[in-house]
Amino acid sequence: MPHLPAVEIITIGDELLYGQVIDTNSAWMGQELGKIGLRIRQISSVSDQAAEIVRALDEARGRAQVVLMTGGLGPTKDDLTKHVLARYFNSELALYEPSLRDVEAIFARFNRPMLEVNRQQAFLPTACTPLRNTVGTAPGMWFDGEDGVVFVSMPGVPFEMKHLMTTHVLPKLQERFQVPPIEHAVLQTVGQGESFLAEQIAGWEAQLPANMKLAYLPSFGAVRLRLTATDDGQPDLRGRLEAQLPAVRALIGPYLYAEGEVTLEAALGSLLQARGLTIGTAESCTGGTIAQRLTSVPGSSAYFLGSVVAYANEVKIKQLGVSPDTLEQYGAVSEQTVREMAEGLRRSLGVDVAVATSGIAGPGGGTEEKPVGTFWLAYADAHQTVAQKVSINRGRELNISYISTVALNLVRRHLPEGK
């Protein structure tokens, strides 16, 4: 089996160290590298200072055979990465005409004049193999070190980095290092905690072949299961991986909502579209989060009609038809209120199904009877209205995120087969 290289990531930028920008690039690169069987040895972040970048390069080349860098390729004075790399590899900067044409095309597309600082972005170290960036102004650079270590520099802008990784870097790494076959299957689950899920499928996991490994990837309210099969010299690796799936599907049962890299909102959208149903949301505590998740899916206009963010009781009454007596007797955070919210939204928007939320997300607003973290949700269609109480307090942001997941799953579990 070919030797797999150790990979290291260096992210460059003061904004990362100050916490002004969160490094999502490394997480994405780790996922994509894992899909082709490469693992990251270390991730480090350094400032926009030449000495710090050089120190990071020296340390990385002693640990890894592939060093991936992001950041510091912009047009401003603090973007030093290209100049540092030119000196590091004892080369001059020279104009790379294809990249200049790419930059010119971008400015022409937006009908804006191109500045000299943008033209300078097409000047690259002569020691590198340029990686054309057709979605941004900063090309990537591939360097082959004398010691066999590969250095790759990419923009820090996430969509530009992803373009370069997908178009250039991943294919070149696979070719260079003859990465052996690897297969993955992802099962998306919701509504069951990681420990309970692990207990459910423990027997199945124990009998997996030696070349297959299961990873639990939990998030707040959901768990991704990733089954990975590595090359063992036997034929039909994909087929043998898929042969393991029927048994685990049966064990997971109703908690399985999709397979592959599919979000809960996308899976629900597919169900709504396939069954010819429309949906709307009546949101108080979630403040439109459920609607945002539903409409983040391309094509959601086919089934999502609208939303009412009914934070105030007056809006619940006027827009959703909630009875003032219900609010007076039971309060806004109650089973009775969310039922009326969901049913009222169905009437006002004419949707087939509706979901409603009301709760105390925190940090204030709680009482002894209804503390922070008390939530009520309701689902309504032409045949039934179902309410669910949830108690959770992990801070306002996480509370809202979790409740939006529970709400989407509530719809998924009760969605009728058709109108």
Question: Domain map of the chain by residue range?
Answer: 7-177, 182-259, 264-414
pLDDT digits over 239-297, tens only? 999 999 999 999 999 999 999 999 999 999 999 999 999 999 999 999 999 999 999 99
> Which CATH superfamily hosts domain 7-177?
MoaB/Mog-like domain (3.40.980.10)
pLDDT digits over 211-246, tens only? 999 999 999 899 999 999 999 999 999 999 999 999
Instruction: Name 281's Cβ contacts closer than 8 Å, sequence gap at least 6.
Output: 288, 290, 291, 294, 307, 308, 345, 354, 355, 356, 357, 407
Which alpha helices (DSSP H) does 307-369 contain, by range? 313-320, 324-330, 335-349
pLDDT digits over 99-120, tens only? 999 999 999 988 999 899 989 9
Confidence of residue 1 (pLDDT cuts 50, 70, 90): very low
Strand residue runs (E) in 113-166: 123-125, 129-131, 140-144, 150-154
**Taking the domain 182-259, which CATH number applies?**
3.30.70.2860
Q: How far is CA 308 from the centre of its chain?
A: 26
**Taking the domain 264-414, which CATH number applies?**
3.90.950.20
pLDDT over 80 at 411, yes or no: yes
pLDDT digits over 173-193, tens only? 999 998 888 999 999 999 999
